[in-house]
Amino acid sequence: MASATAISVVLAAFSAGVAGATSASAAQGPTTLAGSSPSYATSAADQGQTAASTQLSVRVFLAGQNPAGLAEYAKDVSDPTNSLYRHYLSAAAAKARFGATSQQVAAVTSWLTGAGFTITSTTDHWIDVKGPAADVPKAFDTSMHNYKTSDGTLHAPQHNVQIPSAVASAVAGVTGLAQATTHAVTMSTTTGKAATTSDPSCSAYYGQKQAPAGTPAIPAGYSDPSTLAQCSLYPSELRKAYGVTQSGLTGKGATIAIVNWYGSSTMEADADQYAVNHGDKPFAPGQYSEVSTPSQWTNEDVCGYGDNSEEALDVEMAHGFAPSAKIVTVAANSCYDSDLLAAEAEIVDNHLADIVSNSWGESIYSTGGDLDPSLMAAYDQVFEQGAVEGIAFDFSTGDCMNNDAFSVSSGLNCDPTVSRASVDWPTSSSWVTAVGGTALGLNKQGGYGFETAMGDDRSGRTASGASSWAAAAGTFGGGGGVSETEPQPWYQSWVVPRSISTTLMDGTKTTPKRTIPDISLNGDLYFSSTLVGQTTDGVYSEAGYGGTSVSAPSWAGILADAQQAQGGVPVGFANPAIYLRASLTTDVTGNPRQIGNTPVDSVVFEYPADSPYAGQLRLVQYNADEGLPATRGYDLATGVGSPNANFLRSFEWGRFF
C-alpha cells in the first residue's frame, strides 16, 4: 500500500477506575505506550535522526474518567439478561460520566505546551498539536528517526513513547509520530453487468434458464445442469427474501449512518433514481442528509477519490431494506484511521444515528507492519461509548475469505500485503457486528429459495462455442475466521462451539477467541449480485455489485426494521440479541441445493449484449469460501446464519421474546 503521513493510534493500558494523576502512578514512574515505535523501526532499517525542523501534527488522546467503567456499562445496557438492558445514556450524560474532565484536559495541555508544542484544536476525545521533531524528546522521551521500508523512507519514534507520570492516567494514546503504511479499503467489486429480468443472459430466479447453446461441457468436479446465473437483485426482491416485506416493517423512526471517505455530490439524486427505477419511493424531504468537509479531504490519490460506487451501494441497500428510515452519510476526510476514527466519534458525540454501517476494513497483519493493537483499542473505546448510547455499529467482514496465501494471491478484492491467514479490523472488534456474505437463490415466486456461503471460483472469460473453459481467473468470498488477540466475548460463549473458538487459523490451539462473522446476508458477486445505481462523469447507470459491502448496509436496514418492531427503542449493540436469537435465524450451510441426491454448486454467467464482453461466458462455482466451510450451526463462513421474518418478529415479542 502507498505510504502517507497518516496517523496510527497508540493506546496505553489502564487499570479500572483511573480518573486523574495519582500518587500511585507517580510512584510507578512514566507509562510506556507499547507498540508506539512501529515494527518497521528496526536498527537495520535506521537511516538516522529525522531533521529537527521536520514539522509533525500530533494527536494526544484523552483517557476519560473511567475507561473500565465505560466498557462495563456498555456491556450491561447491551445484555438482554441484565437489569440495565437498554438503559442508554444521552451523549451529554455519557460525556459527563465517562469523558475527560477539565482538570485532565488542562494537565495534558500544560504538559504539551511546556514541551514546545502548539495547540491547534481540542475535542472531547483528543488534543491536536503541532511542532518540530526537536520537541519530541522533551514530551515523549524518545527521538524521531527515519527508516527504510518497502513503502519508502518513513519517520517514527526510535523507542516506545513515554508518558510522564503526572499525566499518564489522563492520556490514552498518541498519534502522528509514526507514519502509517496501511489504510482501509472498501469491500465490494462489480461484475460490470447491469442485467434485468428481461435480459436473456440471466435468470429471474434460480433455475429459470439454461446456459445457451455453445456452452462448453461442465467439467468434472462441478455439478449443475448449466443453469444461467440470476439477474442482479434489487431491494424489493431482497426484502421479500429476508422476510421484511411480510413483516410490514419499514424502519420508520430509525436513523442509519453510512461511514465512508469523501462523498458524491449526486448521492441523493442517484438513490432517488434507483428507488424509482425499481418500484420504491425516493427519499422524502429531510430523510437524507450528509456530514462532509470537502475542503479537508486528503490523500485522494491513495484512497480512490471519484469512485463513488461504495457510497451508492451502502445508501441504496440501507434505504432499500428500511425505506422509511433516515439516512445520514458521514464522510471521513480520507481512508486513513485518523479520519475514519474521527468520523465514528462524530456520530457518537452528537448521536447522529441509531445504527452505523461500515463497508470498509483493513488488514491486521501486513508485510509493511502489523496493525498496532493500541489502534484497535482506540476504536473499541468509541464503539463502547456508542453502545452506552444505544448506537449499533456494523462492519463488513471483507471479500478475501480467510486471507491465506492462496486467497490473497488469487482473490478479486484482496490486500496483497497480508502476511498470514487472519481476520480484518475493525470487523473483528468484540463491540461491532461482523456481517458476512451469502449467495442467495430466489424461488419461482421471487421469494427465498436457498442460501449458501458467499464464495466464487470462476473460470476465465470463455467464448461461446469453445471446446473448453478458459483457465481459472480468481476467487471471491466472504471474510471470516478466528482473532488471534481478541478474547471470546461473553455473548459468543452461548453459541460458538469451542472447537471453533479455540483453534486459530493456522491450526494452533488457544483459549476461546472472538470469531467472525456474527450474521450474514446476500453479497455474492456472480451468483446473486446486487444492482447499484450511480452517476459517473454526469451519466447515471446501474451495474451488478458483490461483496460483504452489500451485506453490511443490508443488515443496517434490518436493524432499523427491528427498532421499529420494538416500538422505536434502538436495538443498540446488537450482538447479544443476535446470539440469543440464533435459533430463529436461517442456518446457512454448504450445498443446500440438490438435484436428486447430487449437490448443486455451479452456474454459468453470461455477459449481456451491452457489455464489452457480450456473449462470453464464465463458469462459476459457488459456496467456495476458501478455508471457511458453511456447516450446520455457527460457522466461520456465515456466523449464526441469516435473518428472516421470525427473527424480525421476535423484536415485537418483548425483552426475552
The pLDDT value recorded for residue 187 is 62
Handedness of CA 250, 454, 234, 441 (dihedral sign): negative
- Taking only the tens place, the pLDDT of each residue in 115-134 is 999 999 998 988 999 999 99
Specify whether 266 is located in the same domain as 176: no
pLDDT above 60: residue 239: yes
- Return the closest-CA partner of residue 473 out of 620, 602, 606: 620
When comparing pLDDT for 473 and 282, which is higher? 282
Specify whether 19 is located in the same domain as 124: yes
Cell of 577: 440479541
Cell of 510: 488457544
The pLDDT value recorded for residue 224 is 63
User: By residue range, what is the domain housing residue 232?
Assistant: 186-652
Query: What average pLDDT is seen over the chain?
Result: 88
- pLDDT band (50, 70, 90) for residue 199: low
Beta bridge partners of 78: none
pLDDT, average across residues 261-290: 97
Look at residue 413 and tell me if it is in a domain: yes
Cell of 247: 413483516
Look at residue 77 and tell me if it is in a domain: no
pLDDT above 90: residue 496: yes
Look at residue 73 and tell me if it is in a domain: no
Look at residue 148 and tell me if it is in a domain: yes
The pLDDT value recorded for residue 173 is 86
DSSP state, residue 389? T
Per cent of the chain over pLDDT 70 is 89
- pLDDT band (50, 70, 90) for residue 40: confident
Q: Which of 181, 204, 234 is a domain's end point?
A: 181
Specify whether 240 is located in the same domain as 161: no
pLDDT, average across residues 141-146: 98
The pLDDT value recorded for residue 642 is 98
Specify whether 58 is located in the same domain as 197: no
pLDDT, average across residues 250-273: 97
DSSP state, residue 418? B
Task: Provide the CB-side half-sphere exposure for 315 (13 A, CA).
Answer: 32
pLDDT above 90: residue 473: no
| Cβ–Cβ under 8 Å, residues 194 and 76 | no
Q: Which of 181, 205, 228 is a domain's end point?
A: 181
Specify whether 306 is located in the same domain as 381: yes
Specify whether 439 is located in the same domain as 531: yes
Cell of 373: 493493537
Per cent of the chain over pLDDT 90 is 65
pLDDT, average across residues 68-94: 97
pLDDT above 70: residue 20: no
pLDDT above 50: residue 605: yes
Specify whether 481 is located in the same domain as 376: yes
Beta bridge partners of 545: 190, 530
Total domain count, the chain: 2
Specify whether 566 is located in the same domain as 434: yes
Specify whether 132 is located in the same domain as 251: no
Of 27-36, 202-211, 247-256, 437-446, least confident by mean pLDDT is 27-36
Specify whether 568 is located in the same domain as 581: yes
Residue 631 belongs to domain with CATH number:
3.40.50.200
Look at residue 71 and tell me if it is in a domain: no
| Cβ–Cβ under 8 Å, residues 191 and 542 | no
pLDDT above 60: residue 258: yes
Specify whether 105 is located in the same domain as 203: no
pLDDT above 60: residue 657: no
Q: Which of 181, 203, 234 is a domain's end point?
A: 181
Question: CA 582, CA 17: separation in Å to the nearest integer?
Answer: 35
Look at residue 5 and tell me if it is in a domain: no
Look at residue 74 and tell me if it is in a domain: no
Specify whether 256 is located in the same domain as 389: yes
Of 13-27, 145-159, 194-208, 501-515, least confident by mean pLDDT is 13-27
Q: Is 29 exposed, middle or buried (0-12, 13-18, 19+ CB in 10 A)?
A: exposed
Handedness of CA 523, 529, 534, 538 (dihedral sign): positive
- pLDDT band (50, 70, 90) for residue 410: low
The pLDDT value recorded for residue 624 is 77
Q: How far is CA 128 from CA 173, 332, 350, 612, in A?
A: 12, 17, 20, 50
pTM (two decimals)? 0.90
Question: CA 34, CA 18: separation in Å to the nearest integer?
Answer: 19
